[in-house]
Amino acid sequence: MKTILITGSTDGIGKLTALKLAKEGNTVFIHGRSEVKVNNVIAEIKQASSNENIKGFVADFSDLNAVKRFAEHIKNEVPRLDILINNAGIFKTPSNKTKDGLDIRMTVNYLAPFVLTENILPVLEKGSNPRVVNLSSAAQSTVRKGVLTGDATVNASESYAQSKLALTMWSFNFAKQHPNITTIAVNPGSLLNTKMAKEAYGQHWSPAEKGVNILCDLATFDTYKDATGQYFDNDKGETIGHFASAHPDAYDGIKISNLLELTIELVNQ
């Protein structure tokens, strides 16, 4: 059985993935930004899965200091982690900026998972055949420095697409830096039947389960244990997708090192 942390798991495919993995008998850590919601989901999953090994953490991913504190809690409370699913993400939001003046989508969708993962490395390295699954998207757009630093404002779709490409670029680099951790970026499927898709587009193309199934498979199946540094596109194929090419920038070493240099500066401020 595995010890698994899923960020953004109080609703959507994060919650459904947590439930499926809990039913399989794994130890699952839930994460959300509302304590009430986290506690309710823990109780709900315990009951639905007959699995008592469900715990939770509360952290607001729009606040990088809160993410750093979250990482410290994990280091203090979780002896080892086999699987990290970086699922937390936002699209529609009342404000485009965080309280620190950063682009909110870039912060929640990219900077927060970057900070969390890099800070809990020691816990992941103690895991058994550890894996990191990063939720990318079919929407990927060249990362602009101003959007990353919060100095430029673009529309929601553009900042979302840039944040997802940034996550994918970092994911590929992380896989190279840590060959002992299988790291996969995944587009779980476009317009799945989730709150996020309904709020953003008012419609869906596929059931949420399509995304849930691929997340569980990538996280736990032996088939994928050597698939590190790749991008899985679940829009390809009827029932299940396959590995495919991400945006060309994700393979550009210079763009990746520029992105990481800026990212490290930002998160250390």
Q: Which residues contact 32 (CB under 8 A, 6 or more apart)?
A: 8, 9, 10, 38, 41, 56, 58
d(CA 266, CA 199): 30
Query: What's the chain's length in residues?
Result: 269
Q: Coil, strand or helix: which one is 61?
A: coil
Place of tokens 């504190």: 69
Instruction: Name the 3-class secondary structure at 138.
Output: coil
In angstroms, the CA 46 to CA 248 distance is 42
The kind and range of the H/E element at 87 are none
Q: What is the pLDDT of residue 239?
A: 74
Domain made up of 3-267: CATH architecture:
3-Layer(aba) Sandwich (3.40)
**What pLDDT score was predicted for residue 132?**
98
pLDDT at 201: 45
What does the domain layout of the chain look like in residue ranges? 3-267
Closest-CA residue to 35 (of 66, 12, 2, 65): 66
Q: Is the pTM of this model over 0.85?
A: yes
One pLDDT digit (tens) per residue for the chain, 269 residues: 999 999 999 988 899 999 999 999 999 999 999 999 999 999 999 999 999 999 999 999 999 999 999 999 999 999 999 999 999 999 888 899 999 999 999 999 999 999 999 999 999 999 999 999 999 999 999 999 999 999 998 999 999 999 999 999 999 999 999 999 999 999 987 655 455 544 554 554 456 677 788 999 999 999 999 999 999 998 887 778 899 999 999 999 999 999 999 999 999 98
pLDDT reported for residue 207: 60
Could you tell me where the beta strands, DSSP code E, fall in the chain? 3-6, 27-32, 54-58, 83-86, 131-135, 182-187, 230-233, 242-244
Structure token pair of residue 205: 């193309």
Query: What pLDDT, on the 0 to 100 scale, is given for residue 210?
Result: 73
Instruction: Give yes or no for a contact between 17 and 9, defined as CB atoms under 8 angstroms apart.
Output: yes
What pLDDT shows up at residue 244?
A: 94
